[in-house]
Amino acid sequence: MVSTPPLLRRRFLCTTVSKNWTVKQVTKSNFQESLEDIKNHISSSDFIAVSLQKTGSYSAPLHRVLSIDTPEIAYWKAKYAAERFQVLQFAVCPFSIRASNYVIAHPYNFHLFPRDELKIGMPSYSFSCQTSYLTATAREGFDFNSCIYDGISYLSRMQESAAKTQMGNPIPSPDVIKSSSVPTLADTLFVQRIRSRIKHWKNTCKSSSLKTDEPLLWSIRKIVLGNEEYRSRPCMTIDVCSERQVQLVLEMLEDFSDDLVPLIIPAKGGSIQAVRVVWTSSKEEKELFERELQNVEEEENKKIRGFREVIELISASQKPVVSHNSLNDFTFIHSKFIAPLPPKVDEFMCSLRMVFPYVLELNILMKKIGPLRKTTNISAAISYLKNHFLAPIDIEIPHKATVNEGKVHGHNALKICLLFAKLCSILKISPSVIESGNEDLAPTLKGLANIFSRFSTNLEEPVDGNISFWSSSTRKVMSEHLVFLWGFKGGITAGMLKGLLRESHDIFSREFDVKLVDKSTAIVVFWQPGLSQTFVDIINSDGISGSLRELVSDGLKGTCYETYKRVCRLGLWELNLAGSLDRALMKTDCYLEDDSKRIQSEMYWYNDDVINLEEL
Amino acid sequence: MNAQHGPVRAISRALSRAIIRSFSSASSTSSRPPQSAPAFPFKNVTKLNFDASLAELRHHVRASDFVAIDLEMTGITSAPWRDSFEFDRSDVRYLKVKDSAEKFAVIQFGVCPFRWDSCNQSFVAHPHNFYIFPRQELPSFGTSYEFLCQTASIDFLAKYQFDFNACINEGISYLSREQEEEAKQCSNLTYDGELSDMWCNLKDVRDIPLVSMVDILFTERMKTKFSEWCDGLLQDRRGEVQFQRTSEDSKQQLQVVFFKMRPALSLDGFTSHQLNLIQLVIKKHFKDLSYVSVNNENSSLQHLVVYTDSKDDLKLLMKEVKDEQHKGAEMKIQAAIGFRHVIDLLSSEKKLIVGHNCFLDFAHVYSKFIGSLPLTAEVFVSSINNYFPHIIDTKMLLNANYVLQQRMRKSSTSLSSAFVLLCPQIAINSRSTHPASDSCVKVEVQVNDLRSSSWNPGATHEAGYDAFMTGCVFAQACSHLGIDFKLHEPSENLAHKEQLQKHINLLYLSWTNGDIIDLRTGNKVAESSGSLNLKKRCPVILFENIVLIWGFCSKLKANELRECISKVFGVRSVVSVYHLDKTAVFVQFSKTELVSDFLILKDKLERSDGPISVLHPLAKLLEGGNTCAASYDTYKEICGSPISELLFADQARAVGIKWKSKLVEQKVAKESEQDENSSEENIAPSSSKKVKSLNVELKKQSTLLHCVL
Q: What number is the ipTM of this complex?
A: 0.76
Considering only residues 553 to 582 of chain B, which have any Cβ-Cβ distance to chain A shorter than 8 Å? 554-555
- pLDDT for position B528: 57
CA B682 to each of CA A598, B3, B627, B685: distance values in angstroms, whole numbers, following the listed order: 17, 42, 22, 7
Distance CA B128, CA B679 (A): 60
Strand partners of residue A152: A112
List chain B residues with CB under 8 Å of A490: 189, 193
- CB contact (8 A) between residue A59 and residue B144: yes
Given phi > 0 = left and psi -120 to 50 = alpha, else beta, which region is A482? beta
Cα–Cα distance for residue pair A245/A243, rounded to 1 Å: 5
Which residues sit opposite A85 in a β-bridge?
Answer: A128
d(CA B505, CA B492) in angstroms, rounded, equals 18
Alpha-carbon separation of residue A351 from A347, A421, B134 (angstroms): 6, 28, 38
- Interchain pair A128, B146: CB under 8 A: yes
DSSP string, B19-61: HHHHHHHHH--SSS-GGGSPPPPP-EE-TTSHHHHHHHHHHHH
Cα–Cα distance, A354 to A351 (Å, whole number): 5
Comparing A180 with B122, the larger pLDDT belongs to B122
pLDDT at position B280 is 82
Rounded Cα distance between B407 and B444, Å, is 22
Cα angle for residues A257, A261, A266 (degrees, 5° grid): 145
CATH architecture of A473-615: 2-Layer Sandwich (3.30)
Closest in B136, B209, B212 to A132, CB measured: B136
DSSP A545: -
- Cβ contacts of A59 on chain B, cutoff 8 Å: 144, 146
Strand order in the sheet with A482-486: A512-516, A521-526, A482-486, A557-560
Encoded amino acid at A231, one letter: R
Position A474 scores a pLDDT of 53
* Burial B315-325, CB ≥16 within 10 A → b, else e: eebbeebbeeb
Closest among A258, A263, A268 to A278, alpha carbons compared: A263
C-alpha span between A137 and A119 (Å, rounded): 30
User: What does each C-alpha distance from B250 to A246, B214, B233, B253, B256 come to in angstroms?
Assistant: 87, 17, 19, 5, 12
Residues, chain B, total?
A: 709
Confirm whether A21-155+307-434 and A473-615 share one CATH topology: no
CA distance A307 to B51: 44
Angstrom distance (rounded) from CA B577 to CA B547: 10
Bridge partners of A151? none
Between CA B361 and CA B365, with CA B364 as vertex, the angle to 5 degrees is 85
What count of other Cβ atoms lies within 10 Å of the Cβ of residue B563? 15
User: What per-residue confidence (pLDDT) applies to B208?
Assistant: 60
B169 has a chain A CB within 8 A of its CB: yes
Question: How near does any CA of chain A get to the CA of B679, in Å?
Answer: 10
Closest chain B residue to the Cα of A123, Cα to Cα: B151
Q: Smallest Cβ distance to A464: which of B145, B271, B646?
A: B271
Is-contact A96 A398, C-beta < 8 A? Answer: no
pLDDT at B645 over 90: no
Q: Please determine, for residue B684, whether its predicted confidence score (pLDDT) is greater than 80.
A: no
The pairing of strands A24-26 and A108-111 is: parallel
Interface of A with B in 266-305 (CB under 8 A): 269-271
Dump pLDDT digits (tens) for B511-553: 777 788 888 888 887 665 444 444 445 567 888 889 999 988 8
Contacts of A39 (CB under 8 A, 6+ apart): A313
- According to DSSP, residue A335 is labeled I
Tens-place pLDDT, residues B303-320:
888 888 888 888 888 888
| Partners of B245 in the β-ladder | none
Q: How far apart are CA B359 and CA B381, in angstroms?
A: 10
Taking alpha carbons only, the member of B325, B337, B284 closest to residue B175 is B337
User: Chain A 462-481, CB below 8 Å of chain B: which residues?
Assistant: 462, 464-466, 468-469
- Structure letter (DSSP) for residue A610: B
Contact A50, A413 (CB under 8 A): yes
Does an H or E element contain A76, and which?
helix A71-84
Residue B257 has phi, psi (to 5 degrees) of: -135, 175
Looking at the complex, report in whole angstroms how far the Cα of residue A427 sits from the nearest Cα belonging to chain B: 26
Q: Which comes out higher in pLDDT, residue A362 or B683?
A: A362
Interface with chain A: mutation pick from B78, B100, B151, highest number of A CBs within 10 Å: B151
**Chain A residues with beta carbon closer than 8 angstroms to that of B165:** 138, 143-145
Residue A561: per-residue pLDDT = 85
pLDDT for res B207:
57
Q: Are the beta carbons of A353 and A80 closer than 8 angstroms?
A: no
CB-CB under 8 Å, A590 with B656: yes
Q: Cα(A148)–Cα(A88) distance, rounded to whole angstroms?
A: 8
N-term to C-term CA, chain B: 39
**Mutation choice for B interface testing from A83, A118, A129 by most B CBs within 10 A:** A129
pLDDT of residue B145: 81
Contact in structure between A368 and A374 (CB atoms under 8 Å): no
Partners of residue B196 in chain A, C-beta under 8 Å: none
Question: Which of A483-497, B153-167, B670-684 has the least mean pLDDT?
Answer: B670-684
3-state helix, strand, coil in chain A (%, to 5): 45, 20, 40
Which residue of chain A is at minimal alpha-carbon distance from B555? A269
Contact A135 B151 (CB under 8 A): no
Burial of B540: CB neighbours in 10 Å, binned 0-12, 13-18, 19+: exposed
Mean pLDDT value of segment B179-186: 83
Orientation of helix B311-336 relative to helix B177-192, angle to 10°: 170
Strands A602-605 and A512-516: unpaired
Give the Cα separation of A332 and B167 in Å (integer): 26
Closest chain B CA to residue A491: B195
Res. B369 pLDDT band, cuts 50 70 90: very high
Q: Running DSSP on this structure, what letter comes out for residue B641? A: S
Would you tell me which residues 353-392 of chain A have a C-beta closer than 8 angstroms to some C-beta of chain B?
Answer: none
- The per-residue pLDDT for A609 is 33
CA distance linking residue B23 with residue B428, whole number of Å? 7
Residue B258 contacts A, CB cutoff 8 Å:
no
**Would you call B477 exposed, middle or buried from its count of C-beta atoms within 10 A (0-12, 13-18, 19+)?**
buried
**What is the rounded distance in angstroms from the CA atom of residue B346 to the CA atom of residue B360?**
18
End-to-end Cα, chain A, rounded Å: 25
pLDDT of residue A557: 86
Q: In chain B, what residues touch A135 (CB-CB under 8 Å)?
A: 135-136, 168
Average pLDDT for chain B: 77
Q: In chain A, positions 558-577, which contact chain B (CB-CB < 8 Å)?
A: 575-576
Q: Rounded distance, CA B511 to CA A598, Å? A: 53
Return the DSSP state at A507: G
Q: Which residues of chain A have pLDDT under 50?
A: 1-17, 434-438, 454-473, 590-600, 605-616
- Which residues in B lie closer than 8 A to residue A187 (C-beta atoms)? none
Tell me which architecture the domain covering A21-155+307-434 has in CATH: 2-Layer Sandwich (3.30)
Closest in B164, B193, B212 to A144, CB measured:
B164
DSSP structural state of residue A337: I
B165 to A131: CB separation less than 8 angstroms, yes or no:
no
CA distance B334 to chain A (A): 20
Dihedral Cα A312, A316, A322, A326, nearest 10 deg = 50
Quick: pLDDT tens for A2-48: 443 433 333 333 344 455 678 888 999 999 899 999 999 999 998 99
Confidence of residue B269 (pLDDT cuts 50, 70, 90): confident
Walk me through the domains of chain B, giving residue ranges and CATH numbers.
5-30+39-174+338-536 (3.30.420.10), 192-334 (no CATH), 543-708 (no CATH)
- Give yes or no for B197 touching A (CB within 8 A): no
Domain ranges of chain A: 21-155+307-434, 171-292, 473-615
Do the Cβ atoms of B79 and A125 come within 8 Å?
yes
The pLDDT, as a whole number, for residue A177 is: 67
Gyration radius of chain B over CA positions: 34
Q: How far is B537 from chain A (nearest CA, A)?
A: 31
Q: Is B413 left (phi over 0), alpha (psi -120 to 50) or beta?
A: alpha
Helices B5-27 and B151-159: crossing angle, nearest 10°? Answer: 10
Q: Are strands A233-239 and A272-279 parallel, antiparallel or unpaired?
A: antiparallel
B646–A60 CB contact, under 8 Å: no
Q: What confidence score (pLDDT) does residue A329 get?
A: 92
**How high is the pLDDT of residue B380?**
93
CB within 8 Å: A587 and B152: no
Say which residues have a Cβ less than 8 Å from residue A7's Cβ, sequence separation at least 6.
Answer: A387, A388
Task: Give residue-wise pLDDT tens across range B257-266.
Answer: 888 788 888 8
The answer to whether A127 faces chain B, any CB pair under 8 Å, is yes
Residue B113, chain A, CB below 8 Å: the answer is no
